[in-house]
Amino acid sequence: MNQTILVTGGSGNLGSHVIGQLTGQGRQVRVLSRSVRSRHGAPAVEWCVGDLATGEGLDQALEGVGTVVHCATDGRTQHGDVAATENLLKAGARAGSSHVVYVSIIGVDRHPLPYYQGKYRCEQAIQESGLPWTVLRAAQFHDLVHFALHQAARLPVMPALADTRFQSIDTAEVARRTTELAIGEAQGRVADLPGPQTLAMADMARIYLRGTGRRRPVLPITLPGKVARAYRQGLHLAPAPLPGGRTFEEFLAAGPELKPPAAARRAAR
């Protein structure tokens, strides 16, 4: 298999970790970007220009590529992710039998959140593409929960979804597993990757407040609708957490940078 690995979404939270993991193992990495970027001082990283939304530049980006790690996501609509994935798969088919590694989310096949439904449609498109594929479903990243709680803590009373639990995981751990899959053979759907704990959102809010030295009452709220009900039912959870990784409290203790999700970054532009 050709050693060049193409990473989409390389400037995002997960993608940047994956690039670091791959280059740390001496792999030749090419990163797809919508604009010209520097090589960041890493000789193994090649930045190429292409647009997943239109398909422009994808044929050139995939020349000589053996594996594609598809981390790019929009987050604002389900349709954007699906169209981007379909464009990538069409270019991959024209280029040959590139192994596609896709990072999805636990529960996308049963949760009604439109963003999750889009991720599931991406999974289905990958499975039906005829290309070798691997799909990893992971839990919500600590970074995402951190950002959500930061936003909630701006209010005098901190709201938290009642009867809702999360198994959040450190982004670097998802990147490590993604890298293992990228340098191996296609495996189809692999085991889900939850974090080391199952915590109520209200408890995570209190952990956040303690870790940041803030004082707020935490108010559990019950929202109407099928999406909120699905979260209360735990449709986004694995049957059990996976012990051994960095907990949310340990993540906060390290003083992480606040990292808005892709949708929030694009909305701010």
Domain count along the chain: 1
Tell me how far apart the alpha carbons of residues 230 and 55 are, in angstroms, rounded to a whole number. 34
pLDDT digits (tens, 9 = 90+) for 30-83: 999 887 654 454 567 999 999 999 999 999 999 999 999 999 998 676 689 999
C-alpha angle 150-156-159 in degrees, rounded to nearest 5? 60
pTM strictly above 0.85:
yes
pLDDT digits (tens, 9 = 90+) for 178-220: 999 999 999 999 999 999 999 999 999 999 999 999 999 999 9
What's the rounded mean pLDDT across residues 232-241?
98
Q: Under a CB-based contact definition with an 8 Å cutoff, are residues 134 and 95 in contact?
A: no
What's the pLDDT band for 176 if we cut at 50, 70, 90? Answer: very high
Which residues, listed in sequence order, are joined to residue 47 by a DSSP beta bridge? 31
Of 257, 230, 269, the residue nearest 115 (C-alpha)? 230
What's the pLDDT band for 269 if we cut at 50, 70, 90? Answer: very low
Select the more confidently predicted residue: 127 or 44.
127
pLDDT surpassing 60 at residue 133: yes
List the structure tokens of 206: 């209190």
The domain in which residue 185 lies consists of: 4-267
Residues 6+ apart with CB under 8 A from 261: 13, 75, 143, 144, 147
3-state secondary structure of 19: helix
The CATH number given to whatever domain includes residue 183 is 3.40.50.720
C-alpha angle 197-198-199 in degrees, rounded to nearest 5? 105
What's the rounded mean pLDDT across residues 244-263?
91
pLDDT digits (tens, 9 = 90+) for 82-95: 999 999 999 999 99
3-state secondary structure 186-200: CCEECCCECCCCCEE
Share of the chain above pLDDT 70, in %: 92
